[in-house]
Amino acid sequence: MDLQFNQRLAVVTGADSGIGLATALTLAVEGARVLMTDMASDTLTTAVNHVRVAAPGIEVEAIPADLTSQSDVEKLLKKAKDMGGAHMLAHLAGIRGAAGDFVELTDSGWQETLDVDLMGAVRVCRAFIPCMLGRGYGRIVLTASENALQPYAVEFPYDAAKAGIINLAKSLSKAYGKHGVHVNVVSPAFVKTPMTDEMMQQRAQENGTSVEEAEQSFLHENRPGINTGRRGAPQEVANVIAFLCSDVAAYVDGSNYRVDGGAVETAFG
């Protein structure tokens, strides 16, 4: 399928690994110029080189940014403007954040998680939407989670932040869809990323098992709705993001695409 990117510029956050890297790679291979950002400059450099090798002749640049910092977001915006301005924004940066017994979670734990996962999305959207409105064209894809629709005990701040992402995207689509800026969401579940790798390593250590055994027990005990019986691959989420960034999805706006292997038990939401 021709996604018709035609050298348009895509900004990808959380791009040094996992779904973010897979998304940057997919967009570049499909013909989009890519500006990648993440917090750590060393891993970001490695990721950029990987994308450049996979998409020869495509412009791929990077700039480190902490999306909890307004000044860093402004630096990212300036870099994008120097490259001609962003047509697409795929926002994949996020953390699991504070987790545990609800009554033991502190305000600082809540605030950190919300600042990264919800306010990070607010900041990048606020930065890039005016430029998109100026050209009458934009595609924004935000990242929620199965947790937004099927919350799990112990991940209270994350659950709340990801539910907020879906409502943020819907509100933005109502405000700006008529002006050519479309905003959608992907909601992955148990995808192989550094975040879930860390969770499985911790589980393996606690249970005295291998990581593979920890993963299988987690699927059986905690995610029985995943029909595929495995963790998802970052590429499987990136494929949906690329579709939503493209003109092939020109009639899709304000939607939430669940890329979850069936994890969410309800047919609605």
**138-162 per-position pLDDT tens digit:** 999 999 999 999 999 999 999 999 9
Residue 40's pLDDT band (boundaries 50, 70, 90)? confident
Across all residues in the chain, what is the average pLDDT? 96
Contact predicate 149/187, CB 8 Å = yes
- Tell me: pLDDT of 263 over 90: yes
Q: What does the radius of gyration of the chain's CA atoms come to, in whole angstroms?
A: 18
Query: SS3 sequence, 121-140?
Result: HHHHHHHHHHHHHHHCCEEE
pLDDT at 268: 84
CB atoms within 10 A of CB 244: 22
Q: Supply the CATH classification number for the domain 9-189+232-258.
A: 3.40.50.720
pLDDT at 2: 83
With H, G, I as helix, E, B as strand and everything else as coil, classify residue 4: coil
In the sheet where 256-259 sits, what is the strand order?
60-62, 33-37, 9-13, 88-91, 138-143, 181-188, 256-259
- Tell me: pLDDT of 250 over 80: yes
Q: Which residues are catalytic?
A: 158
**166-216 per-position pLDDT tens digit:** 999 999 999 999 999 999 999 999 999 988 999 899 999 999 999 999 999
Question: Measured between alpha carbons, how far is 32 from 27 in angstroms, rounded to an integer?
Answer: 5
**121-133 per-position pLDDT tens digit:** 999 999 999 999 9
pLDDT at 166: 98
Residue 38's pLDDT band (boundaries 50, 70, 90)? very high
Q: What are phi and psi of 183, to 5 degrees?
A: -125, 125
pLDDT at 212: 93
Q: What is the pTM of this model?
A: 0.96
- Tell me: pLDDT of 269 over 80: no
Burial class (CB in 10 A: 0-12, 13-18, 19+), 269: exposed
With H, G, I as helix, E, B as strand and everything else as coil, classify residue 149: coil
Mean pLDDT to the nearest integer, 67-94: 98
pLDDT at 195: 86
Instruction: Record the tokens describing residue 241, joined without a space.
Output: 């993001």
Domain boundaries defined on the chain:
9-189+232-258
pLDDT at 141: 99
- Tell me: pLDDT of 258 over 90: yes
pLDDT at 43: 96
- Tell me: pLDDT of 109 over 80: yes
